A and B are shown apart, each in its own frame.
Chain A
Amino acid sequence: MEREALLRSREYWLAHIQQDLYAMMEQYLQQNSLKRKDLAEKLGVSKGYVSQILQGNFDHKLSKLVDISLALNKIPLLTYQDLDAYIQQDKIWEPVPGTVTAKPVQYILVLNNAHPVEISGELCKQMEGRLNRRENPGQTKGTTPQNWARLTSYNADIQPNFS
């Protein structure tokens, strides 16, 4: 498949919106130590509805998307960009793999490229522990800088916050 055809497809952008919503909800659940049932009650929807979103299958009314976002204390920012200009920009964009040289105290959890969310404290520890367990199942050792660099290869990206 040609990248341009992919960028012009409806499904590509739908998938990103669905997965961003999933990521936001997953983060909210972890941050607030909530279960799906609790979130369903808070949103006034069924547990199945929440599960559907957490499976990355949200395709409901736009008003529902706004309701969910606000209930999770987020604003749903939807921006529009010229498609042809985006494709031209994408052609010259070269991704640079990130490197981590030391373990910082705080991290930024990148849920999407446009709006990185800064995390710290307990959530940071939880995310670190969760990713570390995926890397070293059955082990409880701390995250070395080397391990930390490897963690960035997972689908949840945590970057050092040097600001």
Chain B
Amino acid sequence: MITFDIKQITAVKGKQTFYQLTIDDFPAYNDEDDENQRNEKKKGVLDWYEEELEVKYQKDLHMIYAYMQRVANNQMVAGSKYHELSRPKSDQIKDFEFKHGDLRVYAFQAPGGKIIAVGGYKNRQNKDINRLRSLKQQYLDSLK
């Protein structure tokens, strides 16, 4: 069984709060760590994605962060860069895709913001969207 947590994405700052999912991440906290220090010690899916990203894609990821920043501040973003994904009627929670160049970042709606669940590439969109849906469901189940 997967252990989930969420980590606030502090690079994005706005009216909406952005989080990233952490999966089986067990950081070594100290007793004296405050909330921010604990947050920084976590390692989420976006951190892993960024770490494993080839250097040539770093700039594209910066653009995606900028789109996230705009969404967090409720500013307009072109539909080609950010849009809601169509989903089955039975699925009540909205999914979103951020994209730039070959990079894709997938999120789902959370109270007061969004949770990034998957970082992917253009050529494996279907797999990544399936993974998003699967992780989302497992995460929501873990909250019950």
The CA of A157 and the CA of B69, in the complex, are separated in Å by: 13
Check A2–B70 contact: CB distance below 8 A: no
- Which of A11, A97, A134, A157 lies in contact with B66, CB distance below 8 A? A11
Q: Is A72 an interface residue (CB 8 A)?
A: no
Contact with B along A12-23 (1 / 0, CB 8 A): 111110010011
The CA of A93 and the CA of B10, in the complex, are separated in Å by: 12
Binds B, one of A34-42, A77-85, A110-118, A139-147: A110-118
- Chain B residues within an 8 Å CB radius of A105: none
Q: Is A54 an interface residue (CB 8 A)?
A: yes
Check B13–A93 contact: CB distance below 8 A: yes
- Which of A2, A23, A93 lies in contact with B76, CB distance below 8 A? A23
**Interface Cβ pair total, 8 Å cutoff:** 103
- Chain B residues within an 8 Å CB radius of A111: 75-76
Q: Is A128 an interface residue (CB 8 A)?
A: no
In residues 43-95 of chain A, which contact B (Cβ within 8 Å)? Answer: 54-57, 90, 93, 95
**Count of interface residues, chain A, beta-carbon cutoff 8 Å:** 38
Binds A, one of B25-33, B77-85, B130-138: B77-85
Check A157–B74 contact: CB distance below 8 A: yes
Check A155–B82 contact: CB distance below 8 A: yes
Check B77–A19 contact: CB distance below 8 A: yes
- Which of A16, A22, A153 lies in contact with B16, CB distance below 8 A? A153
Check B73–A157 contact: CB distance below 8 A: yes
- Chain B residues within an 8 Å CB radius of A16: 66, 70
- Which of A2, A10, A15, A112 lies in contact with B67, CB distance below 8 A? A15
Check A55–B78 contact: CB distance below 8 A: yes
Known: A19-B70, A22-B78, A90-B13. 18 other contacts (CB 8 A): A1-B50, A3-B12, A10-B59, A11-B62, A11-B63, A11-B66, A12-B62, A15-B66, A15-B70, A16-B70, A19-B75, A22-B76, A55-B80, A95-B13, A95-B14, A95-B72, A97-B16, A156-B75
